Structure 1
Amino acid sequence: MADGMSSFWGPVTSTHEWCEPNYVYSSYVAEFFNTISNIPCILLALIGLVNSLRQRFEKRFSVLHLSNMTLAVGSMLYHATLQRLQQQGDETPMVWEMLLYIYILYSPDWHYRSTMPTFLFLYGAAFAIAHSQLRFDIGFKVHYALLCLLCLPRMYKYYIHTEDKSAKRLAKFYVATLSIGTVCWLLDRLLCKDITRWHFNPQGHAMWHVLMGFNSYYANTFLMYCRAQQRGWDPKVKHFLRFFPYVKIQKPKAQ
């Protein structure tokens, strides 16, 4: 904690902190950079949500973009307060979001339409209850990593069956941001004692937030393209402000 700076939220009750000094810039924000670094994720999710609603994509994609925004807000509250309750508000939506990705990735080939969403809903509810009563640390990270790994084979399948170069580029950006972000997360976590002695803190966890915001955006856009292709909506990858990719579709008149 910075000298002379008091803590509005009281003692830290979360299971762990990150490699950023607490309450340096404000008595209301514990980890300043880890808090504001979630803003790009919210803005990118908002762009995706507007495009999803404007072109009348399936509701699952609107829910997915809203899930990204909810997760970013939960992360902001957690890093701003470093309280156990807010930590749960960050980690539980992380699991819910991955369950939603699993549904979107695997549901097109699932023959029993009601069983998958029912199972995933019950699983998410059971996890939320367990997480509210038990303190997870390494167990949560392993559980979350396994959910992520369940998504990767399906993403790869979609990638190899996609011929459009612009759409494949989205998948490549997804892999690149995930890889670089993971390195930033690991460096911040494993080298924190060394970093605290440096004159400059590279803010690896904050960089992880920014990269994961773009990662989610690229993943969502790629999945929207793949789903539109499955529905025969003639998808094309366009760019907003010449930088932000989005999917433009042309639905048949019957739809």
Structure 2
Amino acid sequence: MAETISSFWGPVTSTKECCEINYAYSPYIAEFYNTISNIPTILLALIGLINAIRQRFEKRFSVLHLSNMILAIGSMLYHATLQHAQQQSDETPMVWEVLLYMYILYSPDWHYRSTMPIFLFVYGAVFAIAHSVFHFAISFKVHYIILCLLCTPRMYKYYIYTHDISAKRLAKLFIATLVLGSLFGVSDRVFCKEISRWPVNPQGHALWHVFMGFNSYFANTFLMFCRAQQRGWSPKVVHLIGGLPYVKIEKPKSQ
């Protein structure tokens, strides 16, 4: 929701805004709830990163959890400032993260191992430069959705070939959080005028951030399980303090 008041960051220069009153709580944070709602994503990614390092998963999973953290930090910068430069620090990592998911999903069956990471790296670099020059708007969203859809068939294949009930539950939680987060995010944008008249704003975009933080965590954990199965590491899903699921593995002594 655009506001004309002055702030520490100057006039709003981002090309999109959410249904939250700007600078309602601090002159240093444009959208307070949309900023702090990224904290769960950072904490969940940190937990995933510690688990990946502690159990010596492949480096790709450490990078994946780090990319979740970087994306959340970029989103915090964007919503705190509503500046166009920070908007790109949110949007460009979104594309990089999906490219990383594509690598993790498809690389096990890719015969020419060096070509995929090289292609995806070059693609991500070219996109970052092009996005900084041309400031994609609608085309960015279409491009991002297409990349996500390219990941879908492989995720579905992993799901149907996974027989562990706990692992399948992770995939279902991934879908559930995606659907719920999308409902809140879309409602925040589409029904903003109506929501602005409510006594309390439910902060749909902030809830989108929270749900997508869990969504990324469940996706990462499911992929870690599937990869551990491929490597013969006897994975099983256990729970941290009786709640948050994570993957525990037993590597053969030769590894």
Calculate the TM-score normalised by the size of structure 2.
Answer: 0.98
Distance 2:151 2:241 in 1: 30
CA contact (8 A) 1:5 1:24 kept: no
CA distance in 1, matches of 2:33, 2:134: 28
The aligned residue for residue 100 of structure 2 is: 100
Indicate how the Cα distance of structure 1 residues 3 and 165 shifts in structure 2: closer, same or farther if over 3 A, else same.
Answer: closer
Which residue does 1:154 correspond to in 2? 154
- In the other structure, the counterpart of 2:77 is 77
Separation of aligned partners in 2, 1:66 and 1:172:
23
Counting only pairs closer than 5 Å after superposition, residues 172-251 of structure 1 correspond to structure 2 as 172-251=172-251
Deviation at 1:197, TM superposition (A): 1.1
How far the C-alpha of 1:16 sits from its partner, in A, is 1.0
Q: Which deviations, in whole Å up to 9, do the C-alpha atoms of 1:125-151 show, x marking residues without a partner?
A: 000000111121111111111111111
In the TM superposition, residue 224 of structure 1 has moved relative to its aligned partner by: 0.1
Distance in 1 (alpha carbons) for counterparts of 2:4 and 2:208 = 30
- Structure 1 alignment gaps of length 5 or more: none
Q: Which residue of 2 aligns with 1:22?
A: 22
With structure 1 as the length reference, what TM-score do the two structures score? 0.98
Give the structure 2 partner of residue 56 of structure 1. 56
| Residue 11 of structure 2 is aligned to residue 11 of structure 1 | yes
Residues 135-154 of structure 1 mapped to structure 2, 5 A cutoff: 135-154=135-154
Over the residues paired in the alignment, what is the CA RMSD in angstroms? 1.4
Q: Secondary structure of 2:245's partner?
A: strand
Please list every run of 5 or more consecutive structure 2 residues that lacks an aligned counterpart in the other structure.
Answer: none
Could you report, residue by residue, the CA deviation over 1:183-234 in whole angstroms, capped at 9, with x for unpaired residues? 1111011111111111111111000000000000000000000000000000
Give structure 1 regions of 4+ aligned residues with deviation exceeding 3 angstroms. Answer: 1-6
Kindly tell me the number of residue pairs found equivalent between the two proteins: 255
Alignment partner of 2:199: what SS?
coil
Counterparts of 1:3 and 1:197, CA distance in 2: 16
Deviation at 1:4, TM superposition (A): 11
Distance across 2 between alignment mates of 1:205 and 1:235: 35
In the alignment, what sits opposite 1:33?
A: 33
Deviation at 1:3? 9.9
What percentage of aligned pairs have identical amino acids? 75
2: distance between equivalents of 1:4 and 1:212? 30
Cross-structure match for 2:169? 169
For structure 1, which segment, 227-236 or 147-156, has the greater mean C-alpha deviation from structure 2 after superposition?
Answer: 147-156
